Amino acid sequence: MATQIFAGNTVSSGIPANLGSTDDVFVSDGATLGSTDAYAIYGTGSHRAIIRGTVFGDRAGIELSSGSVSLTADAYVGGGYGISLGDRSSVVNHGTIWGDLVGVQIGGAPFSPDPTVDGWSIENTGLIECSGLGAIRRIDNSTLTIKVQNSGVISGLNAYQGDTGDGIDIIVNSGTMEGGVVLGAGNDYYDGRSGRLDGAVSGDAGDDTLLCGAGDNVLDGGAGGDVMQGGAGNDTYGVDSALDMVDEGVAGSGGIDTVISYISYSLVASAHLRGSIENLQLGTGNLNGTGNALANQLVGNVGNNVLDGGAGADTMIGFKGNDTYVVDNTGDVVDESFTGSDGVDTVRSSISFSLANTTAVHGAVEALTLLGAANLSGTGNALANQLLGNSGANALSGLAGNDVLQGGAGADRLDGGDGNDVLRGNAGADALVGGAGTDTASYYDSAVGVSVSLVAGTGSGGDAQGDTLSGIENLSGSQGNDSLVGDSGANVLLGGRGNDVLVGAGGADTLTGEAGADRFVYGSAAQSPTGTGGDRITDFSHAQGDRIDLSAIDANVTVAGDQAFTFIGTGLYTGVAGQLRYAVSGGVTTIAGDLNGDRTSDFAITLTGAIGLQAGDFVL
């Protein structure tokens, strides 16, 4: 074993210090050792390099297969790579290490690790710097450990760049690291609580521990169950596993902190979250986010998100997707105003809420659901809204748009406003107010039959019990046997399930019995005149037992009393009052009656479809 000593200035091409397998090298104070096209110091064995002067090389200042390198305070090593160490080795730097690409590279091929030595160590009190890949870069894929202790300055695009292997990276920073700290795939450890990091610290696979000090830190453990502690400052945590631990519970932790989560996440303190986090941002996918008692900001993504701010005056931003916002504070803000925000969005509120309130809602939200049992109000906006009440007595107002209002249990008031609205009072004595447009009162959710009259403006039975109706044009029945009566307007009556009775009353009505043996009842010929003012029955069915009830119409007005009709099928009138006939043309069946024997129809009812009728289809 020999020691190559350089006490003067030696600069040449090639390798001026080409070490034997066991040689060491010493560069004295004030000396310069350099290569203009290769390595200043190169060795393929186990070596010790003590640098007190200046060393530089075009490819690398120092490249060794293994050993140790130490720099005193005035020493300098630089090159494309400052120092490249291939085997388990150590660096102690009190001076300056510079690399165009890498300051210190660990694990470079073709060197083979020595299995009797565990990993590498780097101790820095000086400066390690690069302008390229990383100030310190690990490129082996072994399971060995590297230990970096820094009380100086390490600076680069990444201050530390790990590899993809399962080795353990241990970084203790009590100085300054400028640039990111990118750890490898093992169970890595970063402790910067006594130092400063100007960049993000990120893990990979493995259960990593990331501990930062004061400052606005960015911590992301990557895959695995990671422990992340930001300390004082406005910290950002990346979470992608339910096993991740976010710790803001350490004394002195403060600031406005944010979790960016790639799983559904809650800011409520738990076994995996200590202390208080203010903000939550969701990564990709259909994820949900929950706040805590603070004034949180919850930010969704392009998926379908559920955002629940919890207590506090929260701001919730959904972006794209069909998002749901849970509101429980008058200071909550729902924000769908950002460019690209779309979807059918819903507010679920335990307080009275208006989708038209521009202080509480930014942008467009389509649906509102009231929660709990309190007597709350819910108001829509200019869109086609869906407003759902709770079990209390609600006041729902649709405003403009074709809205669906559903009261739930309780004595509710439903006001459709402008547009063609559907009002569902459900249980309770409800007030259904249609407003402008063509509006429908629907009892589809009632399991028991209802009796509703637009003429009287009242309802009874099932969910219609105690209801009042105004400004309603159409009725939709229940799952039971209903009685639906229109008014003088052009009504649409839908029977629903059950054996229903439909009375159009005046106007050109559209009657649909739907399932069951339904009866279409007429009280006078004037209720369905000939021409465009007559009624249409859309689904008359022999098989279901439907019947058209004309028994209240006097078939012969030329004599006293109430006469029954005589059904003559498709035959022509013969001048005898009270004849009832039908004709089929163009897929439409028309029923007509002559009340005075003048061979002219005095009323007409049309049926959708070509239907062969018989006397049993009528109550004459």
Task: Kindly indicate the confidence band of residue 108, based on its pLDDT and cuts at 50, 70 and 90.
Answer: low
Does position 110 have pLDDT exceeding 90, yes or no? Answer: no
CA 242 to the chain's CA centroid: 18
Give the pLDDT of residue 340.
84
Give the pLDDT of residue 143.
85
Give the pLDDT of residue 346.
98
Report the pLDDT averaged over residues 130-151: 92
Report the pLDDT averaged over residues 267-289: 96
- Looking at the chain, the whole-number percentage of residues with pLDDT higher than 70 is 98
How far is Cα 167 from Cα 143, in angstroms, rounded to an integer? 4
The candidate with the shortest Cα–Cα distance to 175, out of 142, 156, 153, is 153
Give the pLDDT of residue 116.
43
How far is Cα 123 from Cα 145, in angstroms, rounded to an integer? 14
Give the pLDDT of residue 88.
81
Task: Kindly indicate the confidence band of residue 87, based on its pLDDT and cuts at 50, 70 and 90.
Answer: confident
Residues 491-546 pLDDT 10s? 999 999 999 999 999 999 999 999 999 999 999 999 999 999 999 999 999 999 99
Does position 111 have pLDDT exceeding 60, yes or no? Answer: no
Name 224's Cβ contacts closer than 8 Å, sequence gap at least 6: 187, 203, 205, 206, 207, 208, 241, 243
**φ, ψ dihedrals at 160, nearest 5°:** -140, 135
Do residues 603 and 530 touch, judged by C-beta distance below 8 A? Answer: yes
How far is Cα 31 from Cα 37, in angstroms, rounded to an integer? 19
Report which DSSP code applies to 532.
Answer: G
How far is Cα 231 from Cα 21, in angstroms, rounded to an integer? 48
End-to-end CA distance of the chain: 126
How far is Cα 123 from Cα 121, in angstroms, rounded to an integer? 7
Residues 195-217 pLDDT 10s? 999 999 999 999 999 999 999 99
Residues 390-410 pLDDT 10s? 999 999 999 999 999 999 999
The candidate with the shortest Cα–Cα distance to 408, out of 386, 385, 387, 425, is 425
Report the pLDDT averaged over residues 117-133: 90
How far is Cα 301 from Cα 279, in angstroms, rounded to an integer? 14
Q: What is the CA radius of gyration of the chain?
A: 42
Strand partners, 560: none
How far is Cα 540 from Cα 552, in angstroms, rounded to an integer? 20
Angle (nearest 5°) at CA 440 between 322 and 375: 65
Do residues 502 and 511 touch, judged by C-beta distance below 8 A? Answer: yes
Find the length of the chain.
Answer: 620
Higher pLDDT residue, 486 or 132? 486
How far is Cα 191 from Cα 455, in angstroms, rounded to an integer? 79
Give the pLDDT of residue 537.
99
Report the pLDDT averaged over residues 20-41: 97
Give the pLDDT of residue 320.
92
Give the pLDDT of residue 112.
41
Residue 92: CB atoms within 10 A of its CB come to 18
Do residues 163 and 139 touch, judged by C-beta distance below 8 A? Answer: yes
CA 563 to the chain's CA centroid: 68
Give the pLDDT of residue 292.
97
Give the pLDDT of residue 118.
62
Give the pLDDT of residue 166.
82
In 359-482, at which residue ranges do the beta strands (DSSP E only) sit? 361-363, 367-370, 377-379, 386-388, 395-397, 404-406, 413-415, 422-424, 431-433, 440-442, 451-453, 458-460, 468-470, 474-476
Give the pLDDT of residue 339.
87
How far is Cα 424 from Cα 420, in angstroms, rounded to an integer? 14
Report the pLDDT averaged over residues 310-324: 96
Reading the block at residue 149, the tokens are 């202790």
Report the pLDDT averaged over residues 323-331: 98
How far is Cα 146 from Cα 140, in angstroms, rounded to an integer? 11
Report the pLDDT averaged over residues 48-53: 98
Report the pLDDT averaged over residues 92-102: 98
Burial track 385-414 (b if 16+ CB lie within 10 A, e otherwise): bbbbbbbbbbbbbbbbbbbbbbbbbbbbbb
Report the pLDDT averaged over residues 431-455: 98
Burial of residue 444 (number of CB atoms within 10 Å: 0-12, 13-18, 19+): middle
Residue 94: CB atoms within 10 A of its CB come to 17
Do residues 321 and 347 touch, judged by C-beta distance below 8 A? Answer: no
Percentages helix, strand, coil for the chain (3-state, rounded to 5) are: 0, 45, 55
Residues 544-576 pLDDT 10s? 999 999 999 999 999 999 999 999 999 999 999
Residue 139 exposure: Cα atoms within 13 Å on the Cβ side: 18
How far is Cα 188 from Cα 220, in angstroms, rounded to an integer? 12
Does position 27 have pLDDT exceeding 90, yes or no? Answer: yes
Residues 446-474 pLDDT 10s? 999 999 999 999 999 999 999 999 999 99
Cis check: omega of the bond before 115, within 30 degrees of 0: no
Residues 416-430 pLDDT 10s? 999 999 999 999 999
Do residues 64 and 85 touch, judged by C-beta distance below 8 A? Answer: yes
- Output the CA–CA distances (angstroms, integers) from residue 136 to 10, 43, 183, 315, 353, in the order listed: 27, 20, 11, 41, 56
Reading the block at residue 71, the tokens are 């720099």
